[in-house]
A and B are shown apart, each in its own frame.
Chain A
């Protein structure tokens, strides 16, 4: 058993691609081994910006020998057939064996496949892995690129180390031969020409002086990581991440500050360095008048810096100066901050951004990092002056004037500009805010309209142009600076929320209505033009919009009629989409599309609701059961009903009633019973907001007078229905869903008894019909609560 080392050395691999590259290398290597019948003990993958490395433990020296037999033609078969058989199996005629098969002498070829040396398997596997490597983007380079068929890699590949045990695995790909040699740190492990003096007169020697690259000879998998470490390369990405994570935190705490943690930055910086050295720098506190989010983004996105805060606790003395692990880079340079941070005014600054940052250098510089810090401070200062310039420039224009430029931004080619959208959203939001009734949030309609009209204005500001992720937030800041009411500035700031599950759900009335209007408008618009999500594709984030609507409705218990809201949202589009000169057919198409939305959008919500409620343990079939009734356009009420139903169907009464229901509905189905379950109580969605959209039509009270004396169990069921139905109806009317379920539960005994004692399919046609009608009545009574046919189990 021996260990194998593979290193693929290249020019700098983009940091964002390294994690996937490690997984791909492991997968491709394992597959190549498996194809040869080999399996490694443990596989470790490392990456640095310049290398991908793999160490496979405990590989056998060779693959197992295999012996296979093939049955051929019988003895005496034509020569042609025998020779063909030999050719096919790669044997000569005299190697064939003759065996008796059921009394018939038959040729057999015995093919012995000896074990292959693992080294040979690997020598073939390495080029195959390199050629098959799925980089997201790859390139050609150098002389070989005269052909477009030349090797592709993420950046030029220049070296392969492949050692099995202590032996080289010889292989070659596009002129790159495997060897024992690799290269250490780009600067720590090379010999450079003398730095040039400030004069030109030194002659050509300095200008053509070349760096000698330091080479390292690797002995085997066991000494690889340590030999590299000695040459200032920490090959293990996890170790580099730890150094950055801990080092950055320490650089901050040594200065009495607290690092704002950012795991994405840790990983990215580890992907940009072979010898990471976190360094603390500072910037002019005057920049702190720019919003913290802007500073943090500038530092993170443009420069990959961490930012620091003043700690919540002012008592932080000396800080933790724990020893770092062996071989790791020396302590980060962190000076001058301590005194400042511990000054008495600290209490005012608790948890606020401090004018410091941590950058991660790839070198332990000869001056301890002073020049690097100075350089980075200068770059950040230039970036922050840009940000400050934008911050001040944007404020010179009022949001309402910014908003005028929204006509230049296309929302969607078929749905007009952002200005058009804002116009629709403003009307919709104002309408929502002016709704009256229970379960609604009272918001000032003027403020709501104002917030809606300004909510997208920041899209044309310089700052959002620079940092699109600050949309909303900047608008909020600018509104505040402009002296707009806090309700308005908060609504502008938060109207994109909630973005994704787990995000904060707005509760401020103005914010809720603006956010709801914005999302509804988006949803309805894209459904009108048939841009619905398919599979994993949801380019306009409609699922997120629908989920956001649901979360806001639920969180705030909003009793908004979905039909009415859709109708209102549609009206906003109709004006733009229905042109006077529109051909009749096109107009009809549009009308049909409008109509279909009243089915497709509720269905879409039903699906979102199932996803959203899955985590809360709400059964999806019960959501279907309530949705199937149709007519329900109040999602808060719907969910309350689903929850009561879930509680009920999990009780013994519920289980038995469901069984009785299924039996009744099977009989009705078989007999071609009166009404099919799907139609029971269902209301077709309507585009008329004034149409009644309450629960399904109630079955007539009681059966028609019977022409015969009912059997006791039959009578009991009739009585129970007579008693229960009004209770159920009243309870549902009052939205007392639990009471409705309890009333239904009273039918459980009578229905069981009915099936026990009464023959539905009586010879007497009138009895049969009456009993089928009774069952239908029972089913309809149950349907007042939910379509039980949708319930599983």
Chain B
């Protein structure tokens, strides 16, 4: 039995979660460090309305770039994210059956739920859950959101974040991300992304104009505040994400000192939390 290709894994997950009643969304069209930043997760985790969605989200972590030379690290990779609100009682079994759907036989492999609580200071968010191990490898982050943007989640959402490249490497039995079978028809992950990794690593670490980045950071922060003033939480949140990404790029360029780091992070956190708060107010959910 030929293992699923990278794109088949995504399609299978779409199909599986679609059958569970999830809206299959497309990636958010902005740079972000994790699928959790997608408004379908962050903003939808707030307030009382039920919500079910699944999507693949490209994630950018400039400091993780390795010029395409490390078989396990990328500055641009994919997360598959499922958000179920409120968390259904059989969420663990739903998740396990999704693994079966992409070809992981739980009688042949050792699947375990190992304590791993999640916290995002940037989003003022935390939750309890596990990292899911398959034969000792972390393949998924499983979290019950307790707070988002500093607000109690009422009700609690269950969030599943699959590391797609890792999972695919496991399923396909390859040792390098770049060797992944992408489409089942001869195209590898490397064919598609290796050059991208090389160029983006060089830009992230060496080329990006730091003055421009600082400027963009400040402009995004200012625009976020402008939106907050006009009571437009969604555009405000987008600007907060933009500022967050600029901060990550500045970090990769190594121009933010240890002392400054905390203050920049604090600024991003205030913008993101402010956006969440505005979202609560706009919808009439804030106390």
Q: Which residues of A contact B (CB under 8 A)?
A: 11-12, 14-16, 49, 137, 139-148, 154-156, 158, 186-188, 192-193, 195-198, 200, 204, 206-211, 213, 272-273, 303, 305, 359, 361-363, 365-367, 371-372, 374-376, 378-380, 382, 408
Contact = CB atoms under 8 A, between A and B. Distances in A.
B86 A145 contact: yes
B128 A198 contact: no
Contacts of A187: 106-107, 111
Contacts of B224: none
A376 B89 CA distance: 31
B8 A200 contact: yes
Interface stretch (B31-39, B149-157, B197-205): B149-157
B96 interface: yes
Contacts, number: 160
Interface in B75-122: 86-89, 92-93, 96-97, 100-103, 105-115, 117
Interface string B51-86: 000000000000000000000100000000000001
Given A137-B117, A198-B2, A372 B109 contact: yes
A213 B93 contact: yes
Interface stretch (B130-138, B235-243, B266-274): B130-138
B228 interface: no
A142 B108 contact: no
A196 B12 contact: yes
A196 to B, nearest CB: 6
Nearest to A203: B15
B108 A156 contact: no
Given A15-B115, A193-B100, A200-B8, A147 B154 contact: yes
Contacts of A14: 115
Contacts of B158: 141
A363 B103 CA distance: 18
A207 B101 contact: yes
Contacts of A15: 114-115
Contacts of B106: 186-187, 192, 363
B185 interface: no
A221 B108 CA distance: 33
Contacts of B175: 378
B1 A375 contact: no
Nearest to A382: B72
Contacts of A361: 110
Contact of B15 (A143, A145, A204): A204
B4 to A, nearest CB: 6
A193 B135 CA distance: 21
Given A143-B155, A209-B97, A359 B136 contact: yes
A141 B103 contact: no
User: Which of A366, A372, A375 gathers the greatest number of chain B CB atoms within 10 Å?
Assistant: A375
Contacts of A366: 105, 107-108
A188 B108 CA distance: 11
B165 to A, nearest CB: 13
Given A139-B146, A196-B100, A211 B93 contact: yes
Nearest to B96: A211
B101 A145 contact: no
Nearest to A357: B136
B19 interface: yes
A141 B100 contact: no
Given A15-B115, A49-B113, A204-B15, A365 B128 contact: no
Given A141-B144, A142-B89, A142-B155, A198 B103 contact: yes
Nearest to B137: A379
A375 B135 contact: yes
A762 B163 CA distance: 97
Given A193-B97, A208-B16, A213-B93, A380 B136 contact: yes
A272 B110 CA distance: 11
A195 B152 contact: no
Closest 4 CB pairs of A and B: A375-B135, A14-B115, A12-B113, A208-B19
Given A141-B87, A365-B110, A196 B102 contact: yes
A143 B127 CA distance: 16
B170 interface: yes
Contacts of A213: 93
Contacts of B135: 371-372, 374-376, 378-379
A14 B175 CA distance: 31
B92 A11 contact: yes
Contacts of A49: 113
Nearest to B15: A207
11 contacts: A11-B92, A12-B115, A16-B115, A141-B156, A143-B155, A198-B8, A208-B20, A272-B112, A305-B136, A361-B110, A362-B111
Contacts of B152: 148
Contacts of A143: 86, 155
A274 to B, nearest CB: 11
B136 A371 contact: no
Given A273-B112, A375-B135, 4 more contacts: A11-B92, A187-B107, A196-B101, A371-B135
Contact of A142 (B1, B86, B112, B130): B86
A186 B95 CA distance: 13
A94 B8 CA distance: 83
User: Which of A14, A140, A206, A273 gathers the greatest number of chain B CB atoms within 10 Å?
Assistant: A140
A155 B112 contact: no
Contacts of B97: 192-193, 209-211
B124 interface: no
Nearest to B101: A207
